Amino acid sequence: MPALGVCPQFANSGTCTYGAGCQFQHIDRPEVHNPTGANFSTFFANYAGFQHNPGNSAILEFYRLCDFNHWDRDDPERERAHKAFKDALVKEFNDIYGTDEKDINSWHKICTVVNIDPLPDTLRKARDAVLSKHINLVDLVDHPTGHVIRSPAGRRKKYKKRRSNTTQFTVFFDDYPGFDYDPGNSAILEFYRLCDFYGWDRDDPDREEAHQAFKDALVQEFNDIYGTDENDIDSWHKICTVLDIDPLPDTLQEARDEVLSKHINIVDLVDNPGGHVTSFESLEDLREYTVDEGKYFPAENAKQKA
């Protein structure tokens, strides 16, 4: 008797009480490994002075490269780099998911990443299941172990917000029609992506106006999270908590001294109010990180109130 389809018991638990005698098919979910990122590393290594951060989305790193080299949208250098980047992106996709479109295992890998369960039992069903989803192929490369967003409306959904009060950045990016702000990314990288979206070069007046407004939003967001009163111990305790300073200092002076003894990037405090902010070993290491990532906190706005 031919198999009737996928065994739901095996799909859910990896085992089946009927064993080999089950009339349904037992299909193992393929293991999808994290990519080595070798194709992206090779691409970014061609640009002297640019520090590639493999922890970021590859496309956002490309936008950061454009900003680093001051390329506007019509710059021939940017167009050459973009073509080479697209080649690296395709190679990376192929390394993860394979190149044979008739290999059901390749389609099963994508099904696994986008949480199609149970796995389709034929090549055609697997292909149809994947192609019926509105998914971003770059996301498949950035997230090969899962958590790729699917949108039934065909519009890329925003990732879950890091916190509920990202109003300053939301208000800022809402002023730019057509740009789909992703609060799951670093705000500064989203600003670089906005510049690329509108084709602004570094000296464009529109970019300068937007940059000033973005800096205001950055400071206001910091104030919303940590407060504006430097004599309030609770404000310093919030930063201590993010930096994993434990136990919390008993006095305002001790709390302030603990925080100021750390080499931290203030933009990171805004991006990661839930913790995991890096404290660098030295001021020089912090400077290098700040330059490489372009994460400058606007000193001229630092006293701005929310």
Q: Looking at per-residue confidence, does 261 or 117 come out higher? A: 261
Final residue of a domain: which of 77, 108, 142? 142
| Angle ∠(145,149,150) on CA atoms, nearest 5 | 120
Residue 255 pLDDT > 60, yes or no? yes
Residue with tokens 């949208």: 73
30 lies in some domain = no
Check residue 156 and give its pLDDT: 31
Say yes or no: 175 and 276 in one domain. yes
Residue 5 pLDDT > 70, yes or no? no
Identify the burial level of 158 via C-beta atoms within 10 angstroms of its C-beta, where 0-12 means exposed, 13-18 middle and 19 or more buried. Answer: middle
267 lies in some domain = yes
Total of domains in the chain: 2
222 lies in some domain = yes
Say yes or no: 218 and 291 in one domain. yes
116 lies in some domain = yes
**Residue 111: CB atoms within 10 Å:** 24
Say yes or no: 180 and 73 in one domain. no
Residue 37 pLDDT > 70, yes or no? yes
Q: Are 183 and 175 in contact (CB under 8 A)?
A: no
Mean of pLDDT values over 270-276: 77
List the domain range (segments joined by +) for residue 116: 38-142
Share of the chain above pLDDT 90, in %: 14
Residue 73 pLDDT > 80, yes or no? no
Residue 46 pLDDT > 90, yes or no? yes
Q: Which of 14-23, 39-48, 214-223, 233-242 has the lowest average pLDDT? A: 14-23
Helix (H) or strand (E) holding 12: helix 8-13
Q: Looking at per-residue confidence, does 7 or 157 come out higher? A: 7
Say yes or no: 89 and 184 in one domain. no
Say yes or no: 67 and 137 in one domain. yes
50 lies in some domain = yes
Check residue 12 and give its pLDDT: 53
Check residue 134 and give its pLDDT: 65
Say yes or no: 98 and 185 in one domain. no
- Phi/psi of residue 227, nearest 5 degrees: 90, 175
Check residue 301 and give its pLDDT: 46
The span from the CA of 292 to the CA of 51, in Å, is 6
Residue 2 pLDDT > 50, yes or no? no
Considering the chain, what is the average pLDDT of its residues?
78
Final residue of a domain: which of 85, 107, 142? 142
Indicate the pTM of the whole model. 0.48
246 lies in some domain = no
Confidence of residue 182 (pLDDT cuts 50, 70, 90): confident
25, β-bridge pairs: 6
Q: Are 8 and 14 in contact (CB under 8 A)?
A: no
Mean of pLDDT values over 48-77: 85
254 lies in some domain = no
263, β-bridge pairs: 280
Mean of pLDDT values over 262-267: 90
Mean of pLDDT values over 83-98: 88
Question: For the packed helices 252-260 and 233-242, what is the interaxial angle rounded to 10 degrees?
Answer: 40
Check residue 28 and give its pLDDT: 56
Check residue 147 and give its pLDDT: 55
Say yes or no: 181 and 117 in one domain. no
Check residue 61 and give its pLDDT: 86
Q: Cα–Cα distances in Å, from 175 out to 143, 214, 221, 270?
A: 29, 11, 17, 21
Radius of gyration (C-alpha) of the chain in whole angstroms: 24
244 lies in some domain = no
Say yes or no: 175 and 70 in one domain. no
Check residue 120 and give its pLDDT: 85
Mean of pLDDT values over 55-70: 84
Say yes or no: 184 and 283 in one domain. yes
Say yes or no: 135 and 200 in one domain. no
Mean of pLDDT values over 14-37: 58
Residue 21 pLDDT > 70, yes or no? no
Check residue 253 and give its pLDDT: 93
**Residue 24: CB atoms within 10 Å:** 18
